[in-house]
């Protein structure tokens, strides 16, 4: 079992970088340089810092464990991103999205310890950014990622029983690659907000941890895609916070589960331009399921709304007619019928009282009195 897995890994190590090289050399040369630069960028001083932190967290002895952690994290994050994405697609606001990404990163930075997930979060927008050459991007990430696995294997895992997670990762990876056509169509709407952070990471030779993040990125992206294709139901419906009952608010929960925070209305890091979800989702809630407030509101509206046609002549009421309230009894009719009635007996059809005794007549009467009062005082 172990032997097979290690063989699998060796295969991956042997063949994948070569594949990546071939891709780098051939193909469209214009993008090739860029991609090469990106591959170098993964190895950054920031990674060193992260490695140190990882060792501080006790990961140094079992470095590979962080791979499945990162992978599962990535999956989790991928789901969250997907849930996030569905809501975002509804909103259809690029700017808002970009801002949210940024503030997410910021939020995490100040709220949480830096761990693998942080890196994933940091880099995922970048992955989304290149939606055009996305498969190429993946191809480039893949070799580096598997190289990482190979390295970890050689270092610590050749004799340890805990390498099965890695093989799991690699198999997931393989399936990812096989599903890569999905990714080509993904996330055309993400803004490139983190490209700057990529440029900052100039050089460095220790890219392992960052490569995990790359893997996690790819996984997240793929999970995002595949989940979108497979299961339309958000998986975290149960963890809804009590004050937000709409299912659409799962988006908030998705972020909540990741960094224990959600975009609450009073959130400091909540982008100002984010629309009020409660307000905005009131429409789909009403259209999908009528319960609670929605039903009451809906019914109430239905009851109190003015008639759409004039009850006298059965013609449609226009905007002027619907705002025309000639009698305090509330009986509405079109202006034509009202005029016709005024020419005739001048009584409200609803209450049979004469229009002149209230409404406009009353107002003019009051006006007349007050005018006549002025000279006396």
Partner 1 sequence: MVDFGRVQKELQECNKDINVSGISVNPKSDNLTSLIGTIPGPIGTPYEGGTFKIDIDLPDGYPFEPPRMKFATKVWHPNISSQSGAICLDILKDQWSPALTLKVALLSIQALLSAPQPNDPQDAVVAQQYLKDYQTFASTAHYWTESFAKTSSLGIEEKVQKLVEMGFPEGLVRSTLEVVDGDENLALEKLCSG
At 312, list the tokens: 């006298």
CA distance 333 to 269: 52
User: Toward partner 1, which CB reaches closer, 19 or 331?
Assistant: 331
* From 24-32, 72-80, 279-287, 307-315, span contacting partner 1 (CB under 8 A): 307-315
**Count of residues engaged in binding partner 1, rule: CB under 8 A:** 14
Stretch touching partner 1 by CB under 8 A, among 116-124, 168-176, 207-215, 348-356: 348-356
Ramachandran bin of 300, using left for φ above 0, alpha for ψ from -120 to 50, beta for the remaining angles: alpha
Q: Name the residue nearer to partner 1 (CB basis): 257 or 326.
A: 326
- Burial 204-221, CB ≥16 within 10 A → b, else e: beebbbbbbbbbbbbbbb
- State yes or no: residue 114 binds partner 1 (CB under 8 A): no
Using the rule CB under 8 A, give the single segment among 15-23, 39-47, 220-228, 341-349 that binds partner 1.
341-349
Q: What's the distance, CA 221 to chain centroid?
A: 13
Among 270, 347, 357, 358, interactor with partner 1 by CB under 8 A? 347
Residue of 205, 242, 344, 371 interacting with partner 1 (CB under 8 A): 344
Q: Could you tell me which stretch among 15-23, 72-80, 344-352, 354-362 binds partner 1 (CB under 8 A)? A: 344-352
Q: Is residue 352 a contact point for partner 1 (CB under 8 A)?
A: yes
Residue with tokens 């808002």: 96
Binding mask 318-337 for partner 1 (x = CB under 8 A): -------------x-----x
* Residues making up the chain, counted from first to last: 377
- Cβ at position 356, least distance to partner 1 in Å: 17
3-state DSSP assignment of residue 316: strand
Provide, rounded to whole angstroms, the least separation between the CB of residue 339 and partner 1: 11
Nearest to 361 by CA among 376, 344, 347: 347
Give the Cα separation of 22 and 140 in Å (integer): 10
What the block records as the tokens of 49 is 């810092």
The tokens describing 275, both together, are 């629309």
**Least Å distance between CB 93 and partner 1?**
46
Residues 6+ apart with CB under 8 A from 188: 131
State yes or no: residue 230 binds partner 1 (CB under 8 A): no
Span of 15-23, 193-201, 220-228, 349-357 interacting with partner 1 by CB under 8 A: 349-357
Q: At what angle do helices 134-152 and 164-178 cross, to 10 degrees?
A: 160
Identity of the residue, 230 or 344, whose beta carbon is nearer to partner 1 in the bound complex: 344
One residue of 94, 295, 313, 365 binding partner 1 per CB under 8 A? 313
Q: Using the rule CB under 8 A, which residue among 315, 323, 328, 368 binds partner 1?
A: 315
- Based on CB atoms, which residue is closest to partner 1, 67 or 317? 317
As to burial, measured by CB atoms within 10 angstroms (0-12 exposed, 13-18 middle, 19+ buried), residue 61 is exposed
CB of 349 to partner 1, least distance (A): 4
Task: Rule CB under 8 A: choose which of 60, 340, 362, 365 binds partner 1.
Answer: 340
Of 301, 273, 325, 355, which Cα lies nearest the Cα of 98?
273
Pick between residue 95 and residue 316 the one whose CB is nearest to partner 1. 316
- Tokens 């009062």 sit on residue: 373
User: What is the CB neighbour count within 10 angstroms for residue 240?
Assistant: 17
Give the nearer residue to partner 1 in terms of CB position, either 10 or 340.
340
Q: What does the block give as tokens for 296?
A: 């009451």
Binding region for partner 1 (CB under 8 A): 311-315, 331, 337, 340-341, 344, 347, 349-350, 352
């Amino acid at each position: 079992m172990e032997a097979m897995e290690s063989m699998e890994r060796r295969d991956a190590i042997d063949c994948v970088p070569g594949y990546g090289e071939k891709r780098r050399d051939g193909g469209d040369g214009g993008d090739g340089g860029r991609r090469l630069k990106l591959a170098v960028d993964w190895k950054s001083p920031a990674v060193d810092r992260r490695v140190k932190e990882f060792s501080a967290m006790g990961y140094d002895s079992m470095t590979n464990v962080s791979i499945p952690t990162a992978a599962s994290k990535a999956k989790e994050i991928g789901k969250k991103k997907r849930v996030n994405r569905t809501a975002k697609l509804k909103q259809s606001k690029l700017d808002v999205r970009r801002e949210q990404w940024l503030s997410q990163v910021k939020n995490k930075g100040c709220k949480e310890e830096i761990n693998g997930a942080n890196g994933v979060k940091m880099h995922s927008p970048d992955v989304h950014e290149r939606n055009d050459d996305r498969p190429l991007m993946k191809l480039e990430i893949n070799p580096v990622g598997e190289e990482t696995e190979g390295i970890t294997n050689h270092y610590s895992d050749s004799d340890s029983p805990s390498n099965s997670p890695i093989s799991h990762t690699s198999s997931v990876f393989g399936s990812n690659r096989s599903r890569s056509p999905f990714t080509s169509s993904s996330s055309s709407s993400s803004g490139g907000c983190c490209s700057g952070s990529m440029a900052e990471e100039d050089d460095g030779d220790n890219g392992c941890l960052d490569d995990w993040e790359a893997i996690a990125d790819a996984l997240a992206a793929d999970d995002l895609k595949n989940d979108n294709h497979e299961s339309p139901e958000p998986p975290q419906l149960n963890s809804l916070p009590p004050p937000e009952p709409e299912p659409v608010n799962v988006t908030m929960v998705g972020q909540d589960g990741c960094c224990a925070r959600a975009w609450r209305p009073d959130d400091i890091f909540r982008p100002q331009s984010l629309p009020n979800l409660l307000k905005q989702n009131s429409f789909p809630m009403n259209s999908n399921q009528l319960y609670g407030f929605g039903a009451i509101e809906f019914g109430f509206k239905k009851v109190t709304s003015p008639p759409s046609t004039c009850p006298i002549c059965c013609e449609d009421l226009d905007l002027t007619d619907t705002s025309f309230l000639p009698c305090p009894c509330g009986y509405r009719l079109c202006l034509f019928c009202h005029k016709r009635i005024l020419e005739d007996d001048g009584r409200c059809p609803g209450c049979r009282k004469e229009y002149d005794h209230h409404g406009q007549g009353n107002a003019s009467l009051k006006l007349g009195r007050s005018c006549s009062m002025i000279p006396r005082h």
